[in-house]
Chain A
């Protein structure tokens, strides 16, 4: 079974608007970490934000916030005030417990329209 599901292959957002990228996960491990990475056209994978399963508050990093709904097993990324430079591929990932590997989704391609 897929551990990370990203159901939006492509998304468009108007510049300065907010956008939500969906991510659901599947694990029976009570301890896990959730990550979002951005991959611009240049290819590098840029770490954006992290949420631990025991964290009480939703993670925030500048214009990025993670809408963590544990009961629904969702970890959506919210980008506020979109900028043209936000156009990229976005990957949701999870690490389980003491595991060493990341499980990734298939990614969402975000295009910011001027």
Chain B
């Protein structure tokens, strides 16, 4: 069974540009989560999808971030326009149940904004 995959693994962009990160959850997992780790700090929750619906987007930092999950399969996270403080590692996770014992994490996308 394939795990959670994320693309790209690394992205380097200039301030003001747009970047789109993609996450493919484990097949059959209705729940998809985005997290972010800024250098040296804790991993922080961004948002949670149940199928194609946003269940909780309380962690989204501002309106420069837009997450979608059309069709309830893969998800994209777009940052437009990117700022220096957006640099970090963006993790995606999925789970079959919200109350399950674990969330399965992808390897993350390392975003560097110059």
Contacts and interface: CB of A to CB of B under 8 A. Distances in A.
Interface residues of A, number: 22
B101 A50 contact: yes
A104 B42 contact: yes
Interface residues of B, number: 29
A43 B102 CA distance: 18
Interface of B: 3, 9, 31, 33, 35, 37, 40-45, 48, 55-56, 59, 89, 91, 93, 98-99, 101-108
A100 B98 CA distance: 6
SS class of chain A's interface: helix, strand, loop or mixed? loop
A91 B37 CA distance: 12
B31 A100 contact: yes
Contacts of B89: 43
A104 B107 contact: no
Interface of A: 2, 4, 33, 35, 37, 42-45, 47, 50, 91, 93, 98, 100-107
Given A101-B59, A104-B43, 6 more contacts: A4-B42, A45-B105, A50-B101, A91-B43, A102-B33, A103-B45
